[in-house]
Structures are given as structure tokens and as C-alpha cells.
Amino acid sequence: MSANLIPIKAFLGKYYPELLYSASQDKYKGTGLDEFFEQRFYIQNNKVQMIVDPGMAGLVVIVSGNELHISQELFDHPNIVVSNSMENNQTTNPRSLYNAETFSTVAYLVCQNHTSFQIVGEIDEPIYLKYKSDYETFYNSVVVFNVSNDVEVEIVEEIESFSALNAVTNYILYPSAKLKLTTFYQNNISALSFCYRNIIAQDKSSFSHILLGKGSSNIIDENKIHAQSGSSSELLGVVNSSGKDFHSILYVEPGSADYRVAVTYKDVLSGDSNVTFFPVIQGNANPDTATIEVSNITLEEIPADKVENEIKGFVSDIIERATLERMVGVKRFYDNKTKFLHFP
């Protein structure tokens, strides 16, 4: 272990007590989040940069905490406007967005590099957004996607952690915008991931999310949806526990009674895995407004010669919907999907 690793609780200083208290919330119970504060990592400092890389093919963003690599093709795309907090005068204090009730917002205290992508017109291929961390590191990042009125976009998240990764992604959907999001977890088996998506779904917007996750040492995948009038959100997920831990959290904050949220998650359990789903919906939700269905299958309870067919049948409805509407730049997506489908 490197000599310059810092205990997380020491690094957080005055914020540590309230974050430790926050970890006792019902939504975080059983996640082991409180044990994270005792661990030691290398924390990024003075590594704040955005690099436009002509060697990266396609519309790609690679986020390693404070350091971003953006493909030249994405940076130059006429319908994508990239802005970075390093280059702009900040009119607000980013630390004001920190909220101890959501652990991942600690990123606003640590990350000095906030990058915004404004999607102002149609794009004929998907955007790949890869988050990664190195060994012995705790990387934090903040990214914002603004999808303009009536624009439809497909984004593919790839989460690849080798130690501890904390990502805050804000998806702001303007009226009648559509976002089709797919997330692939490709963590090292001993890695930690804390991912928070803050989705602002304005009037008549549409948000669909398919999560294909493999468990690792600990994953907390948290979503908050601000649902405005006429907005529609659908979340589908398949979690292959691989004997490890995966925790999903959904918080819905309606801004109108006229919205829709539908959730279907399916978990494939094995070994000593701990897989949970914790929903919170403010107000009086009814079956016409919000539906949540979570089910699981346990590998050890299936005869060995029937495992493959049983799993395929259990998750087929979600897996069949894990496709892209674009025809260009899709090989990377389907390669990720193929890797995910290798169940133990």
C-alpha cells in the first residue's frame, strides 16, 4: 500500500460527521457505506484538465475524476456544445450543490472540474460516457448533459472501477426532449462505485434507462427523478450479482400529478451477494402514476444443466430491449452487451 494514501474520514474533515450520519438513512442501510469512511485512498489534487484527443474514435468522453478526455469528433460536433468550469467564470459556488442526504454529492466538494454538454440538435450516433478509476484511488466527477427541446439522444455509460469511483451526472431534459440511456458496469471485482444520476425531466420529456450491472465489492447506484407535467420515465435493470453487492436507489420528486414512472428490475443472485432496490416516491403515487416490479432468481437453486436456459428466460424481456436506434457507432455498445451476457 502506498504511503501517501489518505483516510477518507480525515480527508472529509468537517463534513465527515454529517456524511457518517447520512449513511444511517434507510436507503443506505445494508449497503456498507459507513465502512467506506475508514478506508484509505489516493485523492486527486492538482490534476484538473480537459483534453481534446483526436486519437479517440466516435463520440466519446472518458472521465477519470478531475481529468476528462473528449474525442475531437465530439468536441467539433455542430450539435454538441462543450463548456468547462475551468474556462468559465463561476457565478455560483459548486459546493452549494452538496447535500449530505445524497452521499455522492461529496463530488461537489472534491471535484474542481465540472463539464457541461449541451445537445442542441439531432445526433446520428450514440455518445459513450466512460467513468474509470485507477488502483488505490478515490476519483470524483461532476458532468452535466442538457438535452434541448424536442431533441432525442442516446447515451451509453460505461463504469469501470479498479478502486473507488464516485460519479455525479446531471441529465437535464428540456420540454419534449428524449434521452435513451444505457449503463454497463464493468468493475474490477474488488472495486467500489457510487453513481448518482440527477434527472430533471421537464414537461413532456421522456427518460428511459436500461442498467446492465455486474456486482463488485460494493456498488450504490442512485437515481433521482424530478418529474414534471407529462414526463415519462422508465427504468429497466438486470443485475448479475456475481456473488458480490449491488444496491439500487430511486427517489422520485414529482413537480406535477401528471407524470409516469415505471420500474422493472431483475436480479440474478449467487453466493453471498447482497442486492437491494430502495424506492422513495414523494406524494400520493397510484398505479397509473408509478409502478415498480423487482424480482430475482438464485443460481444455487437451479439444476446445473438448466442454469443457462433459466437465466435467459428470466431476463430476456429486458435484454431484448437493450438495443440502439442509431446504426452508426454501435459496435462498442453491442460488444459491451455480449460481455455482460456471460453469466457464471
Q: What percent of the chain has pLDDT over 70?
A: 96
pLDDT 10s digits, 138-197 = 999 999 999 999 999 999 999 999 999 999 999 999 999 999 999 999 899 899 999 999
Whole-number Å distance between alpha carbons of 13 and 27:
24
**66 touches 50 (CB < 8 A):** no
Bridge partners (DSSP) listed for residue 84 = 115
- Closest C-alpha to 342, from 206, 242, 211, 232: 242
Backbone Cα Rg of the chain = 19
Q: Cβ–Cβ contacts within 10 Å for residue 332, how many? A: 17
Q: What percent of the chain has pLDDT over 90?
A: 84
For residue 126, the model assigns a pLDDT of 98
For residue 3, the model assigns a pLDDT of 60
**344 touches 322 (CB < 8 A):** no
Write down the residue that cell numbers 442501510 correspond to.
Answer: 29
Helical spans, DSSP H, in the chain:
8-12, 16-22, 33-36, 72-75, 107-110, 307-319, 331-340
**222 touches 193 (CB < 8 A):** no
pLDDT above 90 (res 285): no
Whole-number Å distance between alpha carbons of 276 and 247:
5
Q: Cβ–Cβ contacts within 10 Å for residue 84, how many? A: 15
Q: Cβ–Cβ contacts within 10 Å for residue 117, how many? A: 22
Across residues 270-275, what is the average pLDDT?
93
Extract the runs of DSSP E, i.e. beta strands, from the chain.
6-7, 40-43, 49-53, 60-64, 67-71, 80-84, 114-119, 127-133, 137-147, 152-161, 164-173, 178-185, 192-201, 206-214, 218-227, 231-240, 245-254, 259-269, 274-281, 290-298
For residue 111, the model assigns a pLDDT of 86
Dihedral sign computed on CA atoms, order 101, 106, 112, 118:
negative
Band the pLDDT of 85: cuts 50, 70, 90.
Answer: confident
Angle at 341 between CA 276 and CA 60, to 5 degrees: 90
Band the pLDDT of 313: cuts 50, 70, 90.
Answer: very high
pLDDT above 90 (res 276): yes
Across residues 61-90, what is the average pLDDT?
89
The grid coordinates listed for 114 are 465540472
pLDDT above 60 (res 1): no
Bridge partners (DSSP) listed for residue 266 = 238, 295
- Closest C-alpha to 115, from 159, 42, 181, 167: 167
For residue 95, the model assigns a pLDDT of 82
In this structure, are strands 152-161 and 127-133 parallel, antiparallel, or unpaired?
parallel
2-11, 33-42, 76-85, 137-146: least confidently modelled range: 2-11
pLDDT 10s digits, 235-266 = 999 999 999 999 999 999 999 989 999 999 99
- Closest C-alpha to 311, from 322, 320, 298: 298
Bridge partners (DSSP) listed for residue 221 = 195, 248
Band the pLDDT of 88: cuts 50, 70, 90.
Answer: low
Average pLDDT score over the chain: 93
N- to C-terminal Cα distance for the chain?
31
